[in-house]
Structure 1
């Protein structure tokens, strides 16, 4: 009996210890679930059950339980009834996680949108697509590539779109998704942030050698030497832990912070700029905060991405979500339809020229696709590269826009090709290599 009591006591102690160390994680789980649910329901017009059975069927997140209120456009999530978190949706700003500072948030300022209407087909308008057949495309081979991309349910591909010579030559969606369904790009949004800096540079308002901390007394020393270039290349030397499966820099920022621009700013510097490469969502949101500082008013900051990029190229479906203090969360929270994500890729394929209007310098593509020191040829300036040949059957000129769970925009200039893939499961380099190889094989 004494032995049984000892074992029982040890078991109870183990449960208490386990609960003590894991209870804080419930905040992150319910935070992710409520935020993701609110965004999917109110931005993408999806159903709670569909999101629960698909998007939330992942480790830890599947422990959450969500409810949605259409009246106040909110979602609440708990884990076993514990740690409730609420996310509220506001038209024009997206969904935001609430906390004890939520009442301070000003929802009155929203971006001004300019939706340009014309009779042009994709990509320079939204009046359908061209009903033409390109002589150099083997559509039967292309159909095989699409079939292979969707045949394995474990791949969880949601949409695939191929653009060649500015024309859509292939497009497919799973049930429940259409050309009009906005899809979360996750870290694809980082490349949107970089593009905003490219636009500012072209307009003569920003230099990549600008040192944003040079005038801050508390940031003397190595921090004062950090440039915009260092930040765009993730080589600032600032400490950062990009681990989504524990309480880390990135999870605290996305699911606990009111102001997501300060997490990276306040971190210590652990190496001189350019000495190390360290992928950091905090760096992107720091850049979003620095971007905000370039404008006299919050309204100008909110309007800038739409006026100078998004609405200008007809990405009418795109929505950039903000944090509690009104900063764009450009590390992670950009939504757009598959066609509009393709337009973003085409802007780069066309070297910044959009139907006769230049948005960024003709040298910008060379800048963002130049390999960053210590990234082993995989990263440029907020864009991913194939310079190391990780896709061995694809030209090393390829560069891409990457996001969590296999969101991709591949840009292959020599083939005049943009490929957009969205889904719920990260693909291996081998899988992406095969997909691209099959698509390219269909183009003569």
Structure 2
């Protein structure tokens, strides 16, 4: 007969009590009990990744990086954080249940490290010298419109008095940056996280491949994993318009597809590649960061390997656009995280907008065709959300305008925490707003006021 000692009883009791305490703690801090185990992985993943990029890409202080992080959930305040400033890495742990390390590499930023994945560290990156030429080719923006600059400074001040955390506001008009304002540790050279605005550059990268005859967007992506089932009918254009029908959840709870993909696995595209088709292509719009990362995977597979896709991005996108302070991060598998991880200065984000405004040409070079621009900014065929093009949000397409006081032809890249690059062709206008806003942002009021001040 097996007899349990008093000491063993205490140990067993502790093992029973610990999960109960953790479940209670996670519920208290905003995570449902069912997500106990995934929550710890997500927390350490988002912690290591965002703290690393904030510190070593955006060059924010450790204090500001942590203050930004914990706005996502108060449970993140429980993270144990260790910075290795010499090696530019961040290690986070939570309750002793999960630990992750993210490391910075020049030219490709930060990613969580995973055993057996060496693709990032093997990449040969390029350093591009800063240019003093006139924007958009270089960083010389010339004389500013003082009246509009005052408007922007006042907007930034008002925003931050309201707790909206606006860090950059920029206006380009008739092909020139005519006003900009910065706050909260950011300046004209600070690479700021655009979150889902990366999707819009992702689409441009595929448009470039189409222009060069390397990719047909009306064909299927040709993924081997999709060849034997209904996913073989999905076209690249269906993916670009988020009407591919894949079952991907974008709720951002622990255990949800989006958080699992970004913060708990080495390959975002591998994670999504296994998702089944739930609807007929083109019938239903489903916003999916997973699909965006499959588009990044397609970019790489079209070109070859991680080094090939990085080199092509630098040759055909980074240099022609005149990027000065931009870092497009890759995951541990070496694939661009096209859903989320482009860090760029406000002037660099404006370059992307100027390319779209000028019909696919920038700095005298055509990047995409005028036909691609037209298709990228046209409503899709879905029944539930037509005002979305090739990874661009449109003002038109639904019954009502998305931004009621802004011209109908406007469209925008948008990202979490209220990042915007808005293009208004009828006004020859590009507006960039970058910040860290937890709730909504009065984009219609703010941007229409800017337009009226021109």
Q: Specify if TM > 0.5.
A: yes
How far off its partner does 1:198 sit?
Answer: 0.8
Matched, 1:31 2:40: no
User: How far apart are the structure 2 equivalents of 1:438 and 1:210?
Assistant: 42
User: How far apart are the structure 2 equivalents of 1:407 and 1:359?
Assistant: 24
Which residue is equivalent to 1:123?
Answer: 136
TM-score normalised by the chain length of structure 2? 0.87
How far off its partner does 1:375 sit?
Answer: 4.6
User: How far apart are the structure 2 equivalents of 1:13 and 1:93?
Assistant: 38
Q: Please, which of 303, 307, 329 is the counterpart of residue 295 of structure 1?
A: 303
User: How far apart are the structure 2 equivalents of 1:150 and 1:218?
Assistant: 47
How many residue pairs match? The answer is: 426
Which residue is equivalent to 1:392?
Answer: 404
How far off its partner does 1:15 sit?
Answer: 4.0
How has the CA–CA distance of structure 1 residues 424 and 44 changed in structure 2, closer, same or farther, with 3 Å as cutoff? same
Which residue is equivalent to 1:334?
Answer: 342
Q: Please, which of 227, 237, 241 is the counterpart of residue 235 of structure 2?
A: 227
Matched, 1:97 2:106: no
User: How far apart are the structure 2 equivalents of 1:89 and 1:222?
Assistant: 40
Q: Please, which of 45, 50, 53 is the counterpart of residue 67 of structure 2?
A: 53
Matched, 1:378 2:387: yes
* Contact kept in structure 2, 1:55 and 1:424, CA below 8 Å: no
User: How far apart are the structure 2 equivalents of 1:130 and 1:16?
Assistant: 56
Which residue is equivalent to 1:182?
Answer: 191
Which residue is equivalent to 1:168?
Answer: 177
Which residue is equivalent to 1:139?
Answer: 148
- Please list the CA deviations of residues 135-187 of structure 1 after superposition, one character each: whole Å capped at 9, or x if unmatched: xx963883576356535342111111111112222211113111111101111
How far off its partner does 1:355 sit?
Answer: 2.6
How has the CA–CA distance of structure 1 residues 45 and 14 changed in structure 2, closer, same or farther, with 3 Å as cutoff? closer
- Please list the CA deviations of residues 223-277 of structure 1 after superposition, one character each: whole Å capped at 9, or x if unmatched: 1111110110111111101121221111111111112112222111111111211
* Contact kept in structure 1, 2:261 and 2:271, CA below 8 Å: yes
How far off its partner does 1:82 sit?
Answer: 4.3
How far off its partner does 1:106 sit?
Answer: 5.2
Matched, 1:111 2:125: yes
How far off its partner does 1:115 sit?
Answer: 4.2
- Please list the CA deviations of residues 344-378 of structure 1 after superposition, one character each: whole Å capped at 9, or x if unmatched: 11111111111322111012221111111235333
User: How far apart are the structure 2 equivalents of 1:364 and 1:64?
Assistant: 45
What runs of 5+ residues in structure 1 fail to find an aligned partner?
Answer: 1-9
Three-state SS of the structure 2 residue aligned to 1:419 is strand
* Contact kept in structure 2, 1:159 and 1:338, CA below 8 Å: yes
**Cα root mean square deviation, aligned:** 2.4
User: How far apart are the structure 1 equivalents of 2:444 and 2:40?
Assistant: 37
TM-score normalised by the chain length of structure 1? 0.89
Matched, 1:432 2:440: no
- Please list the CA deviations of residues 84-140 of structure 1 after superposition, one character each: whole Å capped at 9, or x if unmatched: 2111111122111123434x44512233355474x52222222x212265xxx9638
Which residue is equivalent to 2:414?
Answer: 402
How has the CA–CA distance of structure 1 residues 271 and 58 changed in structure 2, closer, same or farther, with 3 Å as cutoff? closer
Which residue is equivalent to 1:192?
Answer: 201
Which residue is equivalent to 2:285?
Answer: 277
How far off its partner does 1:54 sit?
Answer: 3.2
Matched, 1:150 2:163: no
Matched, 1:343 2:351: yes
How has the CA–CA distance of structure 1 residues 427 and 379 changed in structure 2, closer, same or farther, with 3 Å as cutoff? farther
User: How far apart are the structure 2 equivalents of 1:80 and 1:297?
Assistant: 38
What runs of 5+ residues in structure 2 fail to find an aligned partner?
Answer: 1-15, 27-32
